[in-house]
Structure 1
Amino acid sequence: MSQSPRDRIAQRRQLQKQQSQIFLELLPVLDDLDRACNHWQQAQQQQQQQPADSSNWWRRLFPWTTQPTPDHPGELNAVVKSAYDGVSLIRQSLLDILERQAVTPIDTLGYPFDPSQMNAMGREASPEAPPNTVIKEILKGYRWQDRVLREAQVIVAEATDHQSSSS
């Protein structure tokens, strides 16, 4: 027995709704991986700036660990780089999977504020950026096919006194 066109359309809509829900549930995982990558990058920079104090630095980075502190700064740097590389690979794998399903990030930094894709969380004076330009991204937005899956949360530049007086 074949389905009516109305039933097929309803089935397709239901499937799209389920897919959308799965993608929305995966985005916080991707956000966490982004935060982890940023954390490891910052940790690597801190370790390079303070190599002599590796013991305290290691304890601040891993307060729960019972493992001995690496003795040599190069060894510590290798541990941090390895962790960053691992998290980056996992993050990239998830991005690749989502991209194959037509889920793509919304580019925001340096672009004019677009309320159909972005949610302005605040405004900041920025002498470098034109007014209403996105200067910070708090939470990355994503698009699925031709619609916004999640709006980006951004900070938008506002006119400085210098910009408003020269206009």
Structure 2
Amino acid sequence: MTNHKEALFAKFLDYLHSEQPLPEYLGEPPESANSFDPYQMVAEWTALRHEVKQQGKLLRSSQDVLVQALEVTRADKEQLQIRLEESQKQAWGQFEQQQEKLLKDLLGILDALDQACTYWQEEIEALSATSKPKLATQKSFWEKLGQWFTGKESHSIVSEKSLTSSDLSEILTSNQQGVELIRRSLLELLRQRRVVPIPAQGKPFDSQTMYAVGRESRTDVTDNTVIQEVVRGYLWGDRILREAQVIVAAQGTLD
């Protein structure tokens, strides 16, 4: 095998020492040329080969460093994405808590408006049933109303003698309509926020959306039916914003 390589190398040297005609495309031969040293060429080729190997090693090392840097960057990106998602979830959770508290505060205002509407309705019905409903209470109320407008305790712009049944009915109806208008506006505002009442009156008791505050023995309705809505419940989208507090019917005698 060694002899074969030596023979090939010898032929190569003979070829290099031989004078070969120049190809036409090279043009005129140069006036002067350095003498050819095949051993120097082999040495330079060996050095070049060594340099190529060294550059290859450096290239592979650089590639390894780049791959590691990319892995670190990818891991950092994933961690950053996770922290960003957690931060967004936390911020959204805090926003929902604040919004839920605000909506519950608005429900308190709505409860007060419901009670006011019920009060005015009862007053109107009482006024229709008798010519002088709840005389002492009405006198005190209207006198206080006059004192509030005038700022005087000794004079009242409204008194029992100056108000007829028709006047009282008109005032009560006007007050009821005003409160009802505010109540409906608030209900519409809540509806736009996906807050809607939970149907309870006359419905079967649902432990998921209702809380029974009492039971009443009834024979005219089905057992476990809601017969009174003490506090109205509300849904917020698919969540329960506030349970309905109800009284349910019970068959038979309660102990």
TM-score range, shorter chain: 0.7 to 0.9
SS at match of 1:65: helix
Aligned to 1:165: none
Q: Which has the higher helix share?
A: 2
Select between 133-142 and 6-15 the one with higher mean Cα deviation: 6-15
- Work out whether 1:133 is the aligned partner of 2:225: yes
SS at match of 2:127: helix
How many residues matched? 160
Distance 1:5 1:81, change over 3 A: same
SS at match of 1:81: helix
Q: CA deviation at 1:24?
A: 0.9
Match of 1:7 among 87, 92, 98: 87
- Give a deviation string over 1:77-110, Cα, whole Å, max 9, x none: 1001000000000111110000000011111011
Quick one: distance in 1 between partners of 2:92 and 2:177? 39
Aligned to 2:170: 78
Select between 5-14 and 91-100 the one with higher mean Cα deviation: 5-14
Quick one: distance in 2 between partners of 1:36 and 1:106? 20
Contact 2:224–2:250 at 8 Å: present in 1 too? yes
- Work out whether 1:146 is the aligned partner of 2:238: yes
Select between 100-109 and 6-15 the one with higher mean Cα deviation: 6-15
Q: Provide the aligned C-alpha RMSD in A.
A: 2.1
- Work out whether 1:58 is the aligned partner of 2:138: yes
Quick one: distance in 2 between partners of 1:53 and 1:130? 37
Quick one: distance in 2 between partners of 1:155 and 1:89? 29
Q: CA deviation at 1:57?
A: 6.0
Match of 1:48 among 115, 128, 144: 128
Distance 1:33 1:53, change over 3 A: closer
Q: CA deviation at 1:52?
A: 4.8
Of structures 1 and 2, the one with the larger relative CO (CA 8 A, separation 6+) is 1
Contact 2:142–2:158 at 8 Å: present in 1 too? no
**TM-score under structure 2 length normalisation:** 0.58
Distance 1:101 1:30, change over 3 A: same
Aligned to 2:109: 29
- Give a deviation string over 1:54-95, Cα, whole Å, max 9, x none: 864631554623332343221111001000000000111110
Contact 2:215–2:248 at 8 Å: present in 1 too? yes
Quick one: distance in 2 between partners of 1:88 and 1:100? 18
Structure whose CA Rg is larger: 2
Structure-to-structure mapping, 1:66-105, within 5 angstroms? 66=146, 67-69=157-159, 70-105=162-197
Contact 2:226–2:249 at 8 Å: present in 1 too? yes
Quick one: distance in 1 between partners of 2:125 and 2:133? 14
- Structure 1 unmatched ranges of 5 or more: 162-167
SS at match of 2:144: coil
Distance 1:54 1:131, change over 3 A: closer
Aligned to 2:210: 118
